[in-house]
């Protein structure tokens, strides 16, 4: 098991996603040479249909099997794109259902709205429900959603710290990043170390949002708010950037105390990820070496004598 500090892997998840996409694209680029043969061309002469067929017949594929390394590459690319599209559609549908359920809630009391409005935050929605909710929702134009149950639960200092935390998510469009990360994890199924690094990215995002709240309202207010909300939250909506997530709570409390958590990556998953990328890249480079350029066939222009 590898144990790495949060600060050391701040960008590791996105770096691994970029590397995996680059390897997959490179392998796919080389694999497509099996499908697109090199056209015959004789400088200074035009070709006819008969000559072109004769040229293609000279492609030396006998005894060489370029489709063998190209076949697994094609399977990986098709499955990867399919899973990524499926996850993207699933995330968008969940977001649509959540937005529709929020619109069905009633109007909150004006007094509770005033407790939120005095901060001057942009795009804040207060929903009338006793359920304790606080999260950032939306992709290109995210907004903060706060329930009346949360406003009544916290005192003003704790509420200000909670909203400052969500404002940090809103400025950086963290819900969009979360969606892209989920799509990348599903699509890049052949990289088993991604979930560990994705969790590290989530922890880093929450710790940075906590730091923004602490800078404005202090450490004690945010810790009190975290503990109060954690005891009252029954569930967290899927596909949003929540203020409180139970699986990250202990790491965030440690970070607020100055003891930054560490990310644990399984050794087998790490080795399997490196091996998968190496195999995919090797197969990609094996395709052009198995496909030889056909020799040029002399093709002469067919000259038809003019009628007398």
Give pLDDT, residue 81.
Answer: 93
Give pLDDT, residue 261.
Answer: 67
Of residues 27 and 48, more confidence is placed in 27
Compute the distance between CA of residue 19 and CA of residue 13 in angstroms, rounded to an integer.
10
Give pLDDT, residue 4.
Answer: 52
CA 54 to mean position of chain CA atoms: 48
Least confident of 21-35, 190-204, 205-219: 21-35
Give pLDDT, residue 304.
Answer: 52
Give pLDDT, residue 118.
Answer: 67
Q: Which is nearest to 134 in space by CA: 107, 168, 181?
A: 168
The 3-state DSSP class for residue 218 equals coil
What confidence category does residue 129 fall into, taking pLDDT thresholds of 50, 70 and 90? confident
- Each residue of 139-167: pLDDT tens digit? 888 988 888 888 888 888 888 888 888 88
Q: What is the rounded end-to-end Cα distance, in angstroms, of the chain?
A: 88
Give pLDDT, residue 61.
Answer: 38
3 dihedral zone (left: phi>0; alpha: psi -120 to 50; beta): beta
Compute the distance between CA of residue 241 and CA of residue 134 in angstroms, rounded to an integer.
9
Burial 12-43 (b: 16+ CB within 10 A, else e): bbbebbeebeebbeebbebbeebeeeeebeee
Alpha-carbon distances of 101 from 45, 88, 127, 129, 260, rounded to whole Å: 69, 20, 10, 11, 37
Compute the distance between CA of residue 156 and CA of residue 162 in angstroms, rounded to an integer.
10
Alpha-carbon distances of 195 from 190, 234, 248, 273, 281, rounded to whole Å: 12, 25, 14, 11, 22
Average pLDDT score over residue span 31-36? 61
User: Where does 236-301 have alpha helices with state H?
Assistant: 246-256, 267-290
pTM: 0.74
Sheet strands side by side (includes 124-127): 124-127, 143-147, 134-137, 241-242
Half-sphere exposure of residue 280: CA atoms within 13 angstroms, side-chain side: 27
Contact 263, 199 (CB under 8 A): yes
Give pLDDT, residue 275.
Answer: 93
């Amino acid at each position: 098991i590898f144990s790495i500090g949060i600060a050391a892997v701040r960008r590791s998840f996105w770096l691994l996603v970029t590397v995996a996409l680059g390897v997959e694209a490179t392998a796919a680029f080389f694999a497509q040479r099996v499908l697109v043969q090199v056209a015959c061309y004789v400088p200074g002469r035009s070709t006819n249909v008969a000559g072109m067929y004769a040229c293609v017949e000279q492609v030396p594929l006998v005894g060489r099997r370029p489709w063998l390394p190209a076949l697994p590459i094609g399977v990986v690319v098709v499955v990867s794109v399919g899973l990524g599209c499926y996850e993207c559609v699933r995330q968008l549908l969940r977001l649509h259902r959540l937005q529709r359920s929020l619109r069905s809630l009633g109007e909150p009391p004006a007094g509770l709205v005033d407790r939120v409005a005095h901060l001057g935050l942009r795009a804040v929605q207060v929903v009338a429900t006793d359920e304790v909710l606080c999260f950032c929702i939306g992709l290109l134009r995210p907004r903060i959603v706060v329930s009346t149950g949360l406003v009544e639960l916290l005192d003003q200092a704790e509420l200000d710290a909670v909203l400052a935390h969500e404002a940090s998510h809103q400025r950086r469009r963290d819900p969009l990043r979360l969606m892209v990360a989920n799509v990348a994890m599903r699509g890049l199924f052949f990289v088993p170390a991604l979930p560990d690094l994705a969790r590290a990215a989530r922890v880093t995002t929450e710790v940075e949002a906590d730091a923004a709240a602490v800078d404005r309202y202090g450490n004690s207010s945010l810790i009190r708010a975290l503990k109060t909300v954690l005891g009252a939250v029954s569930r967290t909506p899927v596909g949003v950037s929540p203020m409180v997530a139970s699986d990250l709570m202990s790491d965030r409390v440690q970070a607020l105390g100055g003891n930054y958590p560490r990310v644990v990556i399984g050794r087998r998953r790490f080795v399997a990820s490196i091996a998968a990328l190496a195999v995919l890249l090797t197969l990609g480079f094996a395709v052009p070496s198995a496909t030889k350029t056909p020799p040029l066939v002399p093709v002469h222009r067919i000259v038809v004598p003019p009628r007398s």
